[in-house]
Amino acid sequence: MRQITIRRRKLLVLVFVVALAIALVACQLRQAPETPGDISEPEPPEPEVAEIVEPEPVPEPPPKPLSPVLRWYPRKIYLGDYFVLQLENVTAEDTIRSTLDPPAQFFPHDGGQKALVPLSYWATGDSLVFQVMVERRGETILDREVRIVIGDKEFDTQRLYVTQEQSAMRTDDLWAKDWVHISKARVDSHDEPLWEGNFLMPVEGRISTEFGEIRYINDVPSGRHSGLDIAAPTGTPIVAGNSGIVTLSMELNVTGNTVIIDHGLNLFGTYYHLDQLGVEAGDWVDRGDVIGTVGSTGFSTGPHLHWTMGIGHTPISPWLLVDEDPLALFSFFDTPDEAPEGPLR
């Protein structure tokens, strides 16, 4: 009986110990850290998606068009010189007018509109005053007065004596016939500069008549000399003063064999009295290309080249273009504050 009791106690103790052990193991397992092999990152929390509400687009007001700005340079020039007008903040639809006679021809250039404007050697007074107007959809948005001071300049007088036979080659009727062709060749100019750099003298030789000289033929006033006469032997090659497109190459009555070159922006070069014509209308010529030879055709007292440079039909001094690329005037508008008032030359 006693042995049974002891065995039962031992059994109870054993059961107790086993139960305790199981409880301890279970407890250990529950507190066990994550196994080191498990390196998977925890799933990141779903980001909160903020609801982006697009604001209603506010329509931008149309940009207010800037007022046109007119500038000019130089402020003081001589008879037979030229200046540049520049308009900024104008569009192709705007109408530009001026009280200049002939009117200034504007061309788009560098984001603005520019015009080369001659001052005729026939101008009088001590200043040139004119208005420039810009109209947009029937409304005048610019009306500006421009005043250019005219500097003093002396021109020589030349007295030429010719035979009756020579004089007969220079009648008004013959001039009028020539003018039909010349006038057409100096109307439509390329809308960008075709020249490069300053102009070359088309031929080397003695200057027998200067630009702008006041001329008397057989003691009768006969106007002014529109270009330079350069005396050289017959057959001497004549080169294009600069690049451009030939608009006329033909024999005329008073001016003889004649070549006209459009250099763009209404700038034209005209060559008279050639012996041989070396180009045709429509030809492109580079600066320095031979365009013909020196002669004495038409109304001429000896072999020479007559070279006129003009803006439209208004002659300007060729020396200005030999001395300086006309585009040099344009660069003034990049730094207007530093530009001198003139005269430049």
Using the rule CB under 5 A, is 229 a contact of Zn ion? yes
CB nearer to Zn ion: pick between 287 and 306: 306
Least Å from the CB of residue 77 to Zn ion = 23
Closest residue (Cβ) to Zn ion? Answer: 306
Strand partners, 83: 117
Using the rule CB under 5 A, is 273 a contact of Zn ion? no
Q: How far apart are CA 254 and CA 299, in angstroms?
A: 5
Could you tell me the two tokens for 332? 């003034």
User: Using CB under 5 A, which of the segments 36-44, 86-94, 175-183, 298-306 binds Zn ion?
Assistant: 298-306
CB nearer to Zn ion: pick between 82 and 299: 299
Q: What is the chain's Cα-based Rg? A: 45
User: Using CB under 5 A, which of the segments 74-82, 147-155, 228-236, 256-264 binds Zn ion?
Assistant: 228-236
Least Å from the CB of residue 305 to Zn ion = 8
Count the residues in the chain.
Answer: 345
User: Using CB under 5 A, which of the segments 182-190, 192-200, 223-231, 235-243 binds Zn ion?
Assistant: 223-231
User: Using CB under 5 A, which of the segments 105-113, 227-235, 258-266, 336-344 binds Zn ion?
Assistant: 227-235
Q: How far apart are CA 267 and CA 290, in angstroms?
A: 19
With CB under 5 A as the contact rule, the residue among 186, 224, 287, 306 that binds Zn ion is: 306
Q: Are 130 and 120 in contact (CB under 8 A)?
A: no
Q: What angle do CA 244, 235, 324 make, to 5 degrees?
A: 35
CB nearer to Zn ion: pick between 18 and 207: 207
CB nearer to Zn ion: pick between 224 and 306: 306
CB atoms within 10 A of CB 67: 11
CB nearer to Zn ion: pick between 225 and 263: 225
Q: How far apart are CA 263 and CA 241, in angstroms?
A: 10
The helix/strand/coil state of 185 is helix
- DSSP letter string, 128-168: EEEEEEEEETTEEEEEEEEEEEEPP----EEEE---HHHHG
Least Å from the CB of residue 298 to Zn ion = 10
Using the rule CB under 5 A, is 178 a contact of Zn ion? no
| Interaction site with Zn ion (CB under 5 A) | 229, 306
